[in-house]
Amino acid sequence: MMSFVLTLVAQRDATTLDNATIALARDALDGARDITVLSPEEAVDIPCPTTAAERLPALHAALEGRAIDAVLTHQASRRKRLLVSDMDSTIVANETLDDLAAHAGIGEKIATITTRSMNGELDFATALRERVALLKGFPSALLEKAWKDVTLNEGAKEMVQTMHAHGAHTALVSGGFTFFTSRVAGLCGFDEDHANTLIVDEAQGLLTGETGHPVLGPDTKLALLERLAAEHAVPLVETLAIGDGANDLPMLKKAGLGLAFHAKPVVRKAVAAQINQTSLRTALFVQGYPVSAFSGT
């Protein structure tokens, strides 16, 4: 019985998905002969048996060094009705707090703490407060400068708007700040956004070095996934969470499909479904969306 689907996706700027690669993947996982082309030379679906999961590591090894992702999902409930996505290094290419710090001239100091936090080496809330405290007394105008650096990752709009067009509820959640999430949510078309509040002394036009309480961290991200699923009557199996850092792990593990997107090593070790070579378009392909159904292009 073909209980699983292997989705092969090529990074369009680097390579194409040729027949030899498709055959290699199909044979490695004992997949079906009948495949579905989701995007010519870019993405295909291959139905696979229950034994595919144990064979997947061998396929990943065979594809190593190539700009191709191979993601295995269950046939059932592929189309997700709730999306909860991280922002920094997921929807956007930036770590927005690091960018803010760079404009303040203390970028390296804060980036070091960020890296340790995203790798799970530091408690998230403690690391956030420590980084924000270093910004005390800097002009709040630096926020606008940092915003000008923000770049959406390829496929971000397509992922959000395609899922929304097909009835999914979409939420952006970040351990960063509402100053950025509100704007990114607007650009992509998220239904809602959640993040921490960076406190500003409006009279002086200065950052106070403080955040609002409580700090939005990994447990809050998980709680949001569960709350939104309940509010919108979406079974957890029909939810998608996507992120890259250690603070995303609880929601990635709980969602019906948790996608590690160009993730930190600690996340890759814990989450089986990974996008390591390609863009956020892959989050649509693994749900069975053909490119002809994409919105927001």
Q: What kind of fold does domain 1-76 have according to CATH?
A: Alpha-Beta Plaits (3.30.70)
Separation between Cα atoms, residue 221 and residue 217, nearest integer Å: 6
Q: What is the pLDDT of residues 173-219, one digit of tens each?
A: 999 999 999 999 999 999 999 999 999 999 999 999 999 988 899 99
pLDDT over threshold 90, residue 158: yes
CA distance 261 to 85: 10
| 57-111 tens-digit pLDDT | 999 999 999 999 999 999 999 999 999 999 999 999 999 999 999 999 999 888 8
- Domains 1-76 and 77-297 equal at CATH topology level: no
Q: Give the confidence band of 118 by pLDDT, cuts at 50, 70, 90.
A: confident
Q: Which residues contact 87 (CB under 8 A, 6 or more apart)?
A: 96, 172, 173, 174, 176, 180, 181, 184, 195
pLDDT of amino acid 133:
93
Cross-strand bridge partners of residue 46: 6
- Establish how many alpha carbons lie within 13 A of residue 64's alpha carbon, considering only the half-sphere containing its beta carbon: 6
> What's the pLDDT at 222?
97
Question: Which residues are within 8 A (CB) of 262 and not within 5 positions of it... i.e. 6 or more apart?
Answer: 89, 244, 275, 276
Binned at pLDDT 50, 70 and 90, residue 292 comes out as: very high
Residue ranges of domains in the chain = 1-76, 77-297
Phi, psi at 207, each rounded to 5°: -75, 135
Q: What is the mean pLDDT of the chain?
A: 95
Summarised one tens digit per residue, pLDDT across range 216-250 is 999 999 999 999 999 999 999 999 999 999 999 99
Indicate if the pLDDT at residue 297 is higher than 80. no
Residue 5 pLDDT exceeds 80: yes
Instruction: Tell me the per-residue pLDDT of 248-270, one tens digit each, with 9 for 90 and over.
Output: 999 999 999 999 999 999 999 99
| Residue 2 binned pLDDT confidence (cut-offs 50, 70, 90) | confident
* CATH 3.40.50.1000, domain 77-297, yes or no: yes
Would you call 27 exposed, middle or buried from its count of C-beta atoms within 10 A (0-12, 13-18, 19+)?
A: exposed
Confidence (pTM): 0.95
The values of phi and psi at residue 290, to 5°, are -75, 155
Strands 198-201 and 206-211: what pairing? antiparallel
Which residues are tagged catalytic? 86, 88
